[in-house]
Structures are given as C-alpha cells and as structure tokens.
Amino acid sequence: MLLLRTDRSTANQKLAQAGGRLKQTGLGLLGQLVLQRTKSECCCTIPRMGAARSSVSFTDTDGLSHRIHVDAESLYEAVALAIAGFRSDSLVPRPEPMTEFTVVVERPPVEHRIRLHQVAKWAEETTREGPAGVIKRQRVKALMGEKTV
C-alpha cells in the first residue's frame, strides 16, 4: 500500500499519471485510490497490486486446448505457473518455444496472448529493476524449469 501525503496540486499531478483526479471535497474513492482530505493536505492511499486469479490456456499441435487456473502477480508468472502445472500432468504435451498462451485475468477480465519464447526472453537476467526484479525473473525461470545462477 502506498501512502501519499502532499498538497492538492502535487497529489493531482501524481494521480493524473495513474489515470485519476482528486475529488474537490471530502472522502472519495477513485477506482482503487482512496482520498482523505485535511485542511491543507491530501492523503491518498494507493493499494499494491496483489496476486490475481488467471486462466492460462494453449492449443497443442493436435488442436486440443489445455487450460489451468493460477494465482499470479504478473503475466510472466502466470505463464510460468501454468507451465509448471501442465508439466505435472502426463496427459498434457510440453509447450514449445513458439506456443502461444492465452492468459485471462478473471478479476477484472483482461485477456493477453504471449508466446513461450517471450516469457523466456523476459526471464533473462537483468538488474534494471533492482533486486525485486531479479527475484521475479529467477522465480519465473525456476518455474519454467530453467537453471538460475
């Protein structure tokens, strides 16, 4: 959860970047943003993104569709968790690098299509997102069965 304490104009600038604006008076709820106003200060609470329930599916070379439900914090983690789940089922063939996965976030419903090689490329090591990003990428690699350093 992010707590933002600032004056109204700075709060409006920050929230405009997030796609919202502060209401003029009182306590308001803007999507997931909660605003509390005091005399000269605005206090805005922005909840962190948590794990979302998703449905991940792919169609194998025989034209059969396979689907699994996972709880993941990112698109890449959802695909990696699905791969781990599919590998544990002997009836599901292994996805190939060009296999396209369909990821449907169930709350609110959002659908994404991503190829396995894109997930593998994203999971390559980089330090541009700091230690948290490194850990996320290592987790995705481990779920996909790739060795991490």
User: Which segments of the chain belong to CATH 3.30.1490?
Assistant: 52-143
What's the pLDDT at 106?
A: 87
> 87: which residues sit within 8 A by CB, 6+ positions away?
94, 145
pLDDT digits (tens, 9 = 90+) for 45-79: 545 557 889 999 999 999 999 999 999 999 999 99
Return the closest-CA partner of residue 27 out of 36, 18, 19, 39.
36
What's the pLDDT at 52?
A: 86
3 state DSSP class of 101:
strand
What torsion do the CA atoms of 142, 120, 63, 65 make, to the nearest 10 degrees?
50
In tens digits, the chain (149 residues) has pLDDT values of: 344 445 556 655 655 555 444 443 333 333 344 455 555 555 555 455 578 899 999 999 999 999 999 999 999 999 999 999 999 999 999 999 999 999 999 877 788 999 999 999 999 988 788 898 899 999 999 999 876 55
Predicted model pTM:
0.54
Return the closest-CA partner of residue 104 out of 139, 143, 67.
67
Fold of 52-143: Dna Ligase; domain 1 (3.30.1490)
